Amino acid sequence: MTDHFTSTFTGGQSKDVRIGEILCKAREAASYSVAYVADQTHLKKEVIIALENDQFDQLPSDVFVKGYIRSYAKLLGIDSQDLLAVYPQNRVLETETIVPQIKKVKKINSLSVDPVVIWSSVTVVAILAGLLMTWWVYQEDSDPVELASVVECFDAEHLTEAGSEQEQQQQNSETKHNVVLGNIDPQNISAEQNVAPELVDDEDRVIPQQQAQVIPTIIELPISGGEIDKVRITVKYTEESWTEIVDARKRRLLHGLMKAGATRVISGQAPFNVFFGNSPGVQLEINGKPFDHSIYMRRNSTARFLINDNNS
Amino acid sequence: MFGRILGLFSNDLSIDLGTANTLIYVRDKGIVLNEPSVVAIRNDPNTGTRSIEAVGASAKRMLGRTPTNIEAIRPMKDGVIADFTTTERMLQHFIRAVHKNMILRPSPRVLVCVPCGATQVERRAIRESADGAGARKTYLIEEPIAAAIGAGLPIDEARGSMILDIGGGTSEVAVLSLNGIVYSASVRIGGDKFDDAIISYVRRNYGVLIGEATAERVKQVIGTAYPGKDMLEIEVKGRNLSEGVPKSFSLNSNEILEALQEPLHGIVSAVKTALEQTPPELGADVAERGIVLTGGGALLRDLDRLIMEETGIPVIVADDPLASVARGGGKVLEMLDEFGSDLLTRD
């Protein structure tokens, strides 16, 4: 009996074969009633009838229906594997109850181990790194802000501006180093190069080697690319103040929080765009002349103004 | 950030770290590894070092057949880690085996299934051993949830589904609804206990000692959980306890059925308790649709029939029950990016 059904089933017309029909015929051949089958498999009669009529949509999800077919087939002595091989073709609807969650999944980490993928990633990373390096090097060579910011590194305790006409200041001040910015002539450069080692010798304080080395470097740096700057501004801080001074070329000559007691000398091309965070604590000299900026002070002590060629 | 880049070169893995077998499911590839959880370690008496001799199937063949300087260990016991270092080494070996053709050291995201009865300490041990084996991130999931998803149960519906996962060391029974566990219990009865029961039955009735591997073979070939029409027989060899010499004799399926009564009773009791504890609405759903059997234990002949007769509820064996847990874990891993970690366990 079993052989008969199995051979009918596998006889080549699997598309036309209905699972329910095979089960029904096998049951009748074994002369079992639906009630008997239901009792043996602990399933409801309705389930058995639905199985025999291929009404799978009336039954719960796939896993259960397959299980029911398996236990029914086992009772009848049929090989359930052949029946289940046809099953998915008959049932499409039920798979959708579970699978949608999985189908929607974005495949984020699903790159397979493909050498092409690995090498192309490596190449892209290398190119990006190369571009980054090129940009970095170019940035270092061309950024004028960097030069101005070097000036800020020096504290006023160590640095005081001394122009060629103000050299006497350096003798009055015991702890001050000299920096010449702006219009430098070769004489000044040589004078400054001589001063730096003297300071190390004369003073008890040990000047950090790094600073001593940097001083001549700054002198050599042509801030305005060799052009002569017209205006020299001296900024003295009696109180701490945030400061930003930008010259006509949009170079940021001074930027950041300055400490009380600090003195900064900058030179550049007018007009200068000046901003003081705490303007009462700042004294300004333009080309050696004191400049009163209190008229620009706002309610919150800040001051923002423009210094033109005529010092107005 | 760096981990994500490394992740591009590793596959996400779902690991069913079982007492008897370890299965690994790789995302988009399916089950790629199914090896016994056995490690053979060689002790070097001169240097005092221990090195891995074999892992998996080759190590299992050595079980009970090793010289003094090699020991074959099953590092998992009762569903949890019994030997931490060896488990770590074993996992490391398996993860590398899955990433065979990799240039870089693999660092996959790993989802490991844990028995629902595992304690905090045991969970932590599993997590740390996966981390130690090279996982970039380790997730844990309760075995019944993974088994249910792997079997294809619609656990996201507001209907009760009961799953019985019989593994090598533990059996988990759980009622699930709306992606969560309503009731779960874990009994430390599984395939290993079946083997032990067969060994002690043979010793008691035949006065012969057989090994674990032989007992497992007997169970797989003629083991049955419910009296059937056919009687199967197998020829077995063991050591006669009184004479001390090897002895050959035959066992039949009815004897094995008798031998397995005790562990089977334990499992049936767990199922009955679960049915008692299940809220009535969910219990009705379970009674209508049936209990789903997964795990290697589900392959024991007529186990579904036994539970069906004992509970009066239809019992269904899942497709490919051995791989249900790993497959379910894999599906969870696939859903992780989109649906978050609702299904995962927190420790």
Per-residue pLDDT of A113-132, as tens digits, reads 577 888 899 999 999 999 99
Residues of chain B with pLDDT > 70, as a percent, come to 93
Contacts of A70 in chain B (CB under 8 A): 316-317
The whole-number pLDDT of residue B266 equals: 95
The most confident of the ranges A158-167, A228-237, A286-295, B39-48 is B39-48
- Phi then psi dihedrals of residue B150, to 5 deg: -65, -35
At residue A97 the predicted structure's pLDDT band, cuts being 50, 70 and 90, is very low
Contacts of B226 in chain A (CB under 8 A): none
Residue contacts between A and B (CB atoms, under 8 Å)? 91
Residue A277 burial (CB count, 10 A)? 17
Contact call for B317 and A70, based on CB within 8 A: yes
Contacts of B331 in chain A (CB under 8 A): 102
The C-alpha atoms of residue B42 and residue B54 are separated, in whole angstroms, by: 9
* Residue B78 DSSP one-character state: T
Which of A64, A101, A105 lies nearest to residue B289, judging by beta carbons? A64
Whether residue A87 lies within 8 A of chain B, CB to CB, comes out as no
Q: What is the mean pLDDT of residues A80-87?
A: 80
**What's this model's pTM, rounded to 2 decimal places?**
0.63
The whole-number pLDDT of residue A208 equals: 45
Indicate left, alpha or beta for B317 from its phi (over 0: left) and psi (-120 to 50: alpha).
beta
The whole-number pLDDT of residue B2 equals: 58
Contacts of B156 in chain A (CB under 8 A): 98, 101
Contacts of A96 in chain B (CB under 8 A): none
Nearest one of A281, A272, A283 to A302, comparing CA atoms? A281
For the cut 80, the answer to whether the pLDDT of residue A244 exceeds it is yes
At residue B195 the predicted structure's pLDDT band, cuts being 50, 70 and 90, is very high
Nearest one of A112, A307, A147, A140 to A226, comparing CA atoms? A147
Q: What is the SS3 string spanning chain A?
A: CHHHHHHHHCCCCCCCCCHHHHHHHHHHHCCCCHHHHHHHHCCCHHHHHHHHCCCHHHCCCHHHHHHHHHHHHHHHCCCHHHHHHHHHHHCCCHHHHCHHHHHCCCCCCCCCCCHHHHHHHHHHHHHHHHHHHHHHHHHHHHCHHHHHHHHHCCCCCCEEECCCCCCHHHHHCCCCEEECCCCCCHHHHHHHHHHHHHHHHHCCCCCCHHHHHHHHHHHHCCCCCCCCCCEEEEEEECCCEEEEEECCCCCEEEEEEECCCCEEEEEECCCEEEEECCHHHEEEEECCEEECCHHHECCCCCEEEEECCCCC
The whole-number pLDDT of residue B7 equals: 59
User: Tens digit of pLDDT for each residue in A154-190?
Assistant: 444 444 444 444 444 444 444 344 443 444 444 444 4
Mean pLDDT of chain A: 68
At residue B63 the predicted structure's pLDDT band, cuts being 50, 70 and 90, is confident
Helices within B99-252 (DSSP H only) = 120-132, 143-151, 191-206, 212-222
The whole-number pLDDT of residue A156 equals: 40
Which of B153, B289, B334 lies nearest to residue A105, judging by beta carbons? B334
The per-residue DSSP string of B239-300 comes to EETTT-SEEEEEEEHHHHHHHTHHHHHHHHHHHHHHHHHS-HHHHHHHHHH-EEEESGGGGS
Which of A61, A71, A102 lies nearest to residue B334, judging by beta carbons? A102
The whole-number pLDDT of residue B284 equals: 93
Contact call for B317 and A118, based on CB within 8 A: no
Question: Which chain A residue is nearest to residue B101, measuring alpha carbons?
Answer: A113
Looking at per-residue pLDDT, the higher value among A182 and B234 belongs to: B234
Residue B257 burial (CB count, 10 A)? 20
The most confident of the ranges A88-92, A140-144, B191-195 is B191-195
Contact call for A42 and B313, based on CB within 8 A: yes
For the cut 60, the answer to whether the pLDDT of residue A202 exceeds it is no
Contacts of B319 in chain A (CB under 8 A): 63, 66
Contacts of A60 in chain B (CB under 8 A): 154, 288-289
Which of B102, B331, B339 lies nearest to residue A113, judging by beta carbons? B102
Contacts of A105 in chain B (CB under 8 A): 334-335, 337-338
Which of A61, A66, A106 lies nearest to residue B319, judging by beta carbons? A66
The C-alpha atoms of residue B114 and residue B330 are separated, in whole angstroms, by: 14
Q: Collect all residues with Cβ–Cβ distance below 8 Å to A311 and sequence separation of at least 6.
A: A231, A286, A287, A289, A291
Helix or strand (DSSP H, E) at B307: helix B303-311
Taking the CA atoms of residue B222, residue B227, residue B228 and residue B231 in that order, the dihedral angle to the nearest 10 degrees is: 50
For the cut 80, the answer to whether the pLDDT of residue A91 exceeds it is no
User: Tens digit of pLDDT for each residue in B74-113?
Assistant: 998 888 888 888 999 898 889 888 887 666 667 788 999 9
Instruction: Report the gap between the CA of B62 and the closest CA in chain A (Å).
Output: 33
Instruction: Report the gap between the CA of A133 and the closest CA in chain B (Å).
Output: 20
- Does residue A63 contact residue B150 with C-beta atoms inside 8 Å? no
At residue B151 the predicted structure's pLDDT band, cuts being 50, 70 and 90, is very high
Residues of B with CB under 8 A from a CB of A: 7-9, 11-12, 27-28, 99, 101-103, 109, 151-154, 156-157, 288-290, 292, 304, 308, 312-319, 331, 334-335, 337-339
* Residue B324 DSSP one-character state: H
Q: What number of residues does chain B have?
A: 347
The whole-number pLDDT of residue A95 equals: 41
The whole-number pLDDT of residue B28 equals: 79
Instruction: Report the gap between the CA of A104 and the closest CA in chain B (Å).
Output: 8
Taking the CA atoms of residue B174, residue B178, residue B179 and residue B181 in that order, the dihedral angle to the nearest 10 degrees is: -30
The whole-number pLDDT of residue A172 equals: 46
| Helix A62-76 vs helix A80-90: crossing angle, to nearest 10 | 150
Question: Which chain B residue is nearest to residue A75, measuring alpha carbons?
Answer: B305
Whether residue A103 lies within 8 A of chain B, CB to CB, comes out as no
The most confident of the ranges A60-64, A228-232, B162-166 is B162-166
Nearest one of B98, B119, B120 to B110, comparing CA atoms? B98
Nearest one of B140, B179, B318, B141 to A101, comparing CA atoms? B179
Residue B125 burial (CB count, 10 A)? 19
